[in-house]
Chain A
Amino acid sequence: MTSHRFGARNRVAIAGFAQSPITRHADTTLGVLTIQTIRDAVADAGLTMDQVDGLVTAPLFPSVGSHAATDGHSLVTTTWLARRLGLDPRFAADVQGQLPVSVAIAVNAVASGAADHVVLHRALHNPRGQYHASSSSQAGGMAQWSAPQGFFGPIAAIAMAYNEYAHRYGIEDGALGDVVVEARKNGSKLPWSYWYGQPLTRDEYLAAPVINDPIRRLDCDLPVDGVTAFVFTSAERARDLPHRPVHVTGYSFLNGTLQPPRVPPHWPYDDIMDGGRQGITTLWEGTGVGPAEIDLPQFYDGFAPIVFFWLELLGICGPGEAPAFVRGGGIDSDKPDAVAGLSGGGALGNGRMHGTPQMLECYLQLAGRAGARQREGLSLALACQGPPHVGGAVMYSAEAF
């Protein structure tokens, strides 16, 4: 039988990071904010810019509306960056897809020796005007199957997926509020978060406007300007740098490749779970670690229902049991024995940072840098990204094994 063990398991580590302030609209352009953040990350790792020989990003501007994307303003490519950082990197990659893809490229670049010190950044932009609105009167390509029918945008898609789930398992209305309140509680304690100092009550949640039933505005992460950057190097070199290394144990990603033919972004509930289950098998096989061994998961929560889906996908809850689990304090970060899957605030508690809050919290907790919210006895953390069938997961370890 072929071994699917990941050959670079724990050979590459995160040595430092930086997080910009997360705002509705930054005072500078996104490119300038990215340069500042990368300079901070490189310094945090105890390195100088001339040691950076690899750049990786997914230059994504995820609005499905009618905005044009401009390099340095609405997204930031490695080419744009390298010129302005005065770098001629040995390795640079602008990749598509969710955050695990970028992490995989950075890890494999270091493991192969293509670069010694790789900076990975994710830069998110919130354009002026309505984020997803389209003014198009012509629907060609895939849009011919959705826009003329009134089916437009990911909120309607996740609303239908959640209603299918909620109907099947008899979930009561308002259950998502427990997820949002937990995310906002944690985000309100993060100085960089858009929601710093702004926790949310369940009553405030229930009073929020409904966008696509039953998805309320507060179930959706808020479009923001913000940049997160991480520095990757070999586990060996990381040991000589200032911070405790956090190793990348393995990853999985799927990008929806196993989904049956669907009109994008149509995500029937079973597509999400079946695809997610198949996708994460790669991670368990690649790392030799099972879901029961994870000390701290962090759940993607760009839309609140996705937290329930991840809880069930990892087997922390049985099918349909996640809402009661969350209601009972199962993910409450104030409880030492809880599965504190939103302790880093997630996207609902930070802003639309596309998975970096999950990655950052895994890093900070395993590096012992989480400050007042530091949890004890952690060895393995799992950053769960995206809706499971189009996302993936990255496993991080305090120790190399």
Chain B
Amino acid sequence: MARPVPVPDALTAPYWEAASQHVLTAAQCSQCSAFAHPPDDVCRSCGTLDPGFAYVPVRGRGVIRSWTVVRRPLVPGFDDVAPFTLVDVELDEDPGLRVVGRLLRSGDGAPAPIGAAVAVAFEDIAPGVAIPAFTLAGAP
């Protein structure tokens, strides 16, 4: 079975369009410039009901705040890659911007290094569909 593919909606279509081009973006409120992941109909930062979230490209750099190794995937399509590592990444643009994705590396099963720098990478899982993930970036 294939991995689940994201179903973009009106709010998120630009994100997935950029991802398909291997560009990581983050939603930014048009009124107060606060980032939000995920975006919402209301900006939690300034309270506007018309946030007009725009997806702006981000560097795709961050640090690992936490991790886990998934040994028994509960979603289809991951059995071939299990065990795999998930990381909770704080993006450089904003300490509140935390994104969870796979850490693509060999030797899965060991702890991931909390505090280590990572860079975004993309997994092409279907034609025109790319999923953000991360790789260890070494020294910045």
CB pair B73–A261 under 8 Å, yes or no, is no
Which one of A144, A146, A262 has the greatest number of beta carbons of chain B within 10 Å?
Answer: A144
Binds B, one of A134-142, A237-245, A275-283, A337-345: A134-142
Residues facing A in B100-140 (CB within 8 A) are 100-102, 111, 114, 125, 131-133
CB pair B71–A210 under 8 Å, yes or no, is yes
Number of B interface residues in the complex (CB < 8 A): 46
CB pair A139–B7 under 8 Å, yes or no, is yes
Q: Which of A130, A147, A167, A213 contacts B68 (CB 8 A)?
A: A213
User: With an 8 A cutoff between CB atoms, is B31 at the interface?
Assistant: no
Q: Looking across the interface, which residue of chain B has its beta carbon closest to that of A263?
A: B38
- Is the contact region of chain B dominated by helix, strand, or loop, or is it mixed? loop
Binds B, one of A52-60, A68-76, A158-166, A293-301: A158-166
Which one of A138, A211, A261 has the greatest number of beta carbons of chain B within 10 Å?
Answer: A261
Taking Cβ atoms with an 8 Å cutoff, the residues of B that contact A are 1-9, 12, 16, 36-40, 44, 65-78, 81, 84, 86, 88, 96, 98, 100-102, 111, 114, 125, 131-133
CB pair B1–A149 under 8 Å, yes or no, is no
- Given the complex of chains A and B, what is the CA–CA distance between A105 and B127 in angstroms? 51
| Residues on A with beta carbons closer than 8 Å to the beta carbon of B75 | 133-134, 136, 147, 150, 152
| Residues on B with beta carbons closer than 8 Å to the beta carbon of A139 | 4-7
Q: Which 3 A-B pairs have the closest CB atoms?
A: A140-B7, A159-B68, A144-B6
A116-136 to B contact mask, C-beta < 8 Å, 1/0:
000000000000001011111
Residue pairs across A and B with CB atoms within 8 Å: the count is 134
CB pair B74–A160 under 8 Å, yes or no, is no
- Given the complex of chains A and B, what is the CA–CA distance between A261 and B34 in angstroms? 11
User: With an 8 A cutoff between CB atoms, is A212 at the interface?
Assistant: yes
CB pair A266–B74 under 8 Å, yes or no, is no
Q: Looking across the interface, which residue of chain B has its beta carbon closest to that of A140?
A: B7
CB pair B101–A149 under 8 Å, yes or no, is yes
CB pair A211–B86 under 8 Å, yes or no, is no
| Residues on B with beta carbons closer than 8 Å to the beta carbon of A144 | 6-9, 12, 16
CB pair A260–B133 under 8 Å, yes or no, is no
Residues facing B in A171-212 (CB within 8 A) are 209-212
| Residues on B with beta carbons closer than 8 Å to the beta carbon of A149 | 86, 100-102, 131-133
Q: Looking across the interface, which residue of chain A has its beta carbon closest to that of B131?
A: A148
User: With an 8 A cutoff between CB atoms, is A93 at the interface?
Assistant: no
CB pair B84–A150 under 8 Å, yes or no, is yes
Shortest beta-carbon distance from A135 to chain B in Å: 6
Residues facing B in A202-247 (CB within 8 A) are 209-213, 215
User: With an 8 A cutoff between CB atoms, is A156 at the interface?
Assistant: yes
CB pair A133–B74 under 8 Å, yes or no, is yes
Which one of A148, A160, A209 has the greatest number of beta carbons of chain B within 10 Å?
Answer: A148
| Residues on B with beta carbons closer than 8 Å to the beta carbon of A268 | 65-66, 88, 98
Beyond the given pairs A65-B74, A149-B133, 14 more chain A to chain B contacts, judged by CB atoms under 8 angstroms and listed by A's residue number, are A130-B74, A133-B74, A144-B12, A146-B100, A151-B101, A159-B68, A161-B66, A210-B69, A212-B68, A215-B68, A261-B37, A261-B38, A266-B88, A266-B100
